[in-house]
Amino acid sequence: MSTAERILQHLKAGPEGWTSGERLSRELGVSRSAVWKHVRALRRDGYGIDSSPRKGYRLTGTPPWLLPSEIREGLRTRSFGRAELVYCRETDSTNTRAKALASGGAPEGTVVIAETQTGGRGRKGRTWFSPAGEGVYLSLILRPPISPVEAPKITLIAGIAAAETLLARYPGLDVHIKWPNDLLVGGKKVAGILTEISSDMDRVGFVVSGVGLNASGRRFPGEIEPIATSLALETGAPPDRAALVRGYLERYEQWYDLFLTGRARRILDRWKALSRTLGSRVAVDGPNGRITGVARGIGRDGSLLVEDGRGSVHAVFSGDVEAP
The Cα–Cα gap between 229 and 246 comes to 22
- 188 contributes a contact to ligand BTN by CB under 6 A: no
Residue-wise over 85-95: b if at least 16 C-beta within 10 A, else e? bbbbeebebbb
The Cα–Cα gap between 204 and 198 comes to 6
Contact 126, 119 (CB under 8 A): no
- 121 contributes a contact to ligand BTN by CB under 6 A: yes
The residue of the chain with the least Cβ separation from ligand BTN equals: 192
- 196 contributes a contact to ligand BTN by CB under 6 A: no
The Cα–Cα gap between 10 and 22 comes to 12
- 193 contributes a contact to ligand BTN by CB under 6 A: yes
Residue type, 200: D
> x/- binding map, residues 61-100, to ligand BTN, per CB under 6 A?
--------------------------------xxx-----
Q: Which of 212, 217, 302, 319 binds ligand BTN (CB under 6 A)?
A: 212
Which residue from 170, 169, 191, 194 is spatially nearest to 182, judged by alpha carbons?
A: 191
- 192 contributes a contact to ligand BTN by CB under 6 A: yes
- 249 contributes a contact to ligand BTN by CB under 6 A: no
> x/- binding map, residues 128-157, to ligand BTN, per CB under 6 A?
x--------xxx------------------
With respect to ligand BTN, which residue has the nearer C-beta, 64 or 122? 122
| CA dist 55 → 24, 34, 171, 265, 284 (Å) | 12, 17, 43, 57, 65
The Cα–Cα gap between 167 and 123 comes to 25
The piece of 73-81, 208-216, 266-274, 280-288 that touches ligand BTN (CB under 6 A) is: 208-216
Would you tell me which residues interact with ligand BTN (CB under 6 A)? Answer: 93-95, 117, 120-123, 126, 128, 137-139, 181-182, 192-194, 210-212
